[in-house]
Amino acid sequence: MLKRRAIGWLIICITCYILLLVRLMQIQLFETKTFSKHNINLLEESVHQRTQEVVIDNGRGNFLDRNGNMLTHKKVPVLVLFPFLKKMEWSINKVSSIAGIPGKFLKQAVENAKKPFAYGDPNPLELTASQMERINALKIPGVFAIEKKYERSTVPAEQVIGLTGENPQELKRRYSNKDLSEQTLIGVSGLEESFDEFLLPEGKSKLVYHVDGDGAPLFGINVRYVDPANPFYPVNVRTTIDKDLQQKAEDLVDQYHVSKGGLVLLNIEDNSVLASASRPKINKNNPYNGGITNEMVKQQIMGSVFKTVVAAAAIDYSLDSSSRLFDCSKKINGDPELKYNYGMLNFTDSFARSCNRTFGELAKDLQKMDPHLLEKYAAKLSLTGPVGWQGNVYHTSDFKQIADEEIGRIFLTDDARKDPNYAGMSGIGQHEVRATPLAVANMMAAIARGGKKEMVRVASKIEYKNGTTMVNFPEEEIKGDSISPYTAMKLQKLLREVVLNPNGTGKWFQNLPYDVAGKSGTAETGKYMNGKQFYNKWFAGYFPYKNPKYALVAVNLDVSDNEGGVNSLFADMVRMLYDKDKGQ
């Protein structure tokens, strides 16, 4: 009996020992980086327990504007202090004198510190280059003047740049072949998502010192600077955005109380985005419920701006005769036009005054010739396909700079395509006609260039840390048919007539410092509130007329008929760009 008990206890002990051994092997050999269901990296956690550190740079790549200015972050020269200073004598008065901080404040900050810190965080005191040099010359252990990377409280073009976040499941899905910490930030929208693979960190830059269980220095007071071994990372994505223009554009959008909508500004010469503002702004606390959508790359009901496409087709099919008159005292369906009764107008005046009857009839004429004509000409003007830069980059085929860009459309069904009534409604940009503001801006740029349509770039290149080029994004034409130079010239004159005509819908822009050519649009959205119908209000154009530099689209979405116009916003953008170009 006794022997049996002894054997039993021995088996229990051996079993426990084996289980303990297996557990230790699991912890120290097999799952050191992915322990438990939470995938805890035990190596990292053990280091964290015996070190204290201040992160200088999280190692993720950065976004720069076209002039090399940081967009999402800024580097701030700060004073970093380590908590072990409270246990030693140090030249607090010298540091105080150089930094301009009363000694008692420095002493109090150190006494209260449990880990290294930048003085004044989260709004640190910014040092000058001279102050940094003099503080570091003191060579006081635990006192450093360094440049620390901080996220900007307000990010320009925030929907274009996008957001990052921690998502271990998505991280593992995207990069199962990479050894990355669960805390690694990944892009979840905008360029942060498109360029995510290039922006992943090689490691953090930080100041580190080892401590014992009580937080005292373990190996003396030597502080080490830890930096990723690869000298080429993190990379910088050089965007085409002009930070100053972007800020002024956003100020104007807010000045005119655009709650949904915004503007997009293109540089016609290299077909790149200079500024793009979308509203509503991002709600950082709940982004998916407020503002993360970039309205400039989402399809919108465009209204009369689409008449530009109908005009292009009408020119090519000789439907633009000046002798043909249209009865603009009637609506498309033949009912009397009470609000916009313009009488009899020819083709040019109809375009300038945006007569619905004219372009409804022209669309029906085109539909009789070929039910696909409206779609063909929309494609020729790059309205219905993706316009953002795409191509092969390294091992990534069909890389897209604007991953969340939607494409436009004219008809959803073949029945609608062949129906003359639907064709008439489509001719004035209603029914199922949709396009993104970015595509509309690209259409204006193509017309200004004589019909040549190009991809829109938001980034010009990716640079290594040392400034050399990793990837170039060259100017690229959009494949497919385009309008002829002759048709483009005729459209240019029509768009200019919108402004020059005393009754034109763009007459408000006659006295601007740059000559503007463009087209207005007021689209019925089918949405109502308190008995009022909502509209999308547009003005899309380019300038200067004779030497085009800029294509600009301003749009205010879901506004009532008697408010939310975009003429003043568009005009102020033109004035601002003129002043900038003239150095004022």
Tokens of 99: 């930094």
pLDDT attached to residue 27: 54
Q: Beta strands 186-187 and 390-393: pairing type?
A: unpaired
Q: Encoding tokens for residue 39?
A: 């995938």
Q: With contact defined as beta carbons under 8 Å apart, do 558 and 536 qualify?
A: yes
Instruction: Tell me which of 45-59, 266-280, 284-298 is least confident.
Output: 45-59
Beta-strand pair 236-239/62-64: parallel
Instruction: Read off the pLDDT of each residue in 122-130 and give the average, rounded to a whole number.
Output: 90
User: What band does 361 get if pLDDT is binned at 50, 70 and 90?
Assistant: very high
Residues recognised as catalytic? 304
Pick from 447, 445, 516: nearest CA to 475: 445
- Quick one: average pLDDT of 408-421? 96
Give the integer Cα–Cα distance in Å for 508 and 537.
15
The pLDDT mean for the chain works out to 90
For 258, phi then psi, to 5°, come to -75, 110
pLDDT of 216 higher than 70: no
What pLDDT score does 45 carry?
43
327 contact partners, CB below 8 Å, separation of at least 6: 343, 344, 357
How distant is the alpha carbon of residue 180 from its chain centre?
A: 26
Contact (CB, 8 A) for 534 and 546: no
pLDDT, tens only, 317-347: 999 999 999 999 999 999 998 888 999 999 9
Where do the domains of the chain lie? Answer: 77-149, 243-581
Q: How far apart are CA 305 and CA 436, in angstroms?
A: 12
* DSSP codes of every residue in 16-77: HHHHHHHHHHIIIIISSSSBTTTTB-HHHHHHHHTEEEEEEE----EEE-TTS-BSSEEEEE
Q: Minimal CA–CA distance to 447: which of 495, 501, 513?
A: 495
Q: Please say if the pLDDT value at position 47 is more than 50.
A: no
Element (H, E) at 489: helix 485-500
Mean pLDDT of 436-450: 98
> How many angstroms separate the CA atoms of 532 and 523, rounded?
14
Query: Is the confidence at residue 61, as pLDDT, over 60?
Result: yes
pLDDT of the residue at 46: 45
Least confident of 69-73, 241-245, 254-258, 525-529: 525-529
Q: At what angle are helices 437-448 and 485-500 packed, to 10 degrees?
A: 110
**Is the predicted pLDDT of residue 35 greater than 80, yes or no?**
no
Which residue would you say has higher pLDDT here, 208 or 443?
443
- The predicted model gives 492-499 an average pLDDT of 98
- The β-bridge partners of 224 are 208
pTM for the complete prediction?
Answer: 0.88
Asked if residue 126 has pLDDT above 80, the reply is yes
| Contact (CB, 8 A) for 482 and 511 | no
As a three-state string, the secondary structure of 226-277 is ECCCCCCCCCEEEECCCHHHHHHHHHHHHHCCCCCEEEEEEECCCCEEEEEE
If phi over 0 gives left and psi between -120 and 50 gives alpha, with beta otherwise, what is residue 504? beta
pLDDT at 93 exceeding the cut of 90: yes
Burial of 211 (0-12, 13-18, 19+ CB in 10 A): middle
Note whether 346 and 325 are within 8 A (CB). Answer: yes
pLDDT of residue 215: 53
pLDDT > 70: percent of the chain: 91
| Both tokens assigned to 309 | 């496409």
> Phi, psi (5° rounding) for residue 397?
-85, 145
Helix, strand, or coil (residue 303): helix
CA distance 265 to 458: 11
Scored b (16 or more CB within 10 A) or e, 169-206 reads eebeebeeeeebbbebbbbbbbbbbbbbbbbbbbbbbb
Residue 313 Cα to chain centre, angstroms: 34
The three-point CA angle 467-470-475 to 5° equals 105
Percent pLDDT > 90 in the chain is 69
- Hey, CA dihedral for 151, 278, 379, 349, is it positive or negative? negative
pLDDT at 408 over 90: yes
Can you tell me the distance from the alpha carbon of 159 to that of 296, in angstroms, rounded to the nearest whole number?
A: 9
Give the DSSP letter of residue 523.
E
Helix H, strand E, coil C: the string for 536-576 is EEEEEEEECCCCCCEEEEEEEEEECCCCCCCHHHHHHHHHH
Q: What is the pLDDT of residues 260-272, one digit of tens each?
A: 999 999 999 999 9
Contact 340, 347 (CB under 8 A): no
pLDDT value of residue 212: 59
Antiparallel, parallel or unpaired: β 224-226 and 186-187: unpaired
CATH of domain 77-149: 3.90.1310.10
Round to whole Å and give the CA distance between 132 and 339: 69
Q: What is the CATH number of domain 243-581?
A: 3.40.710.10
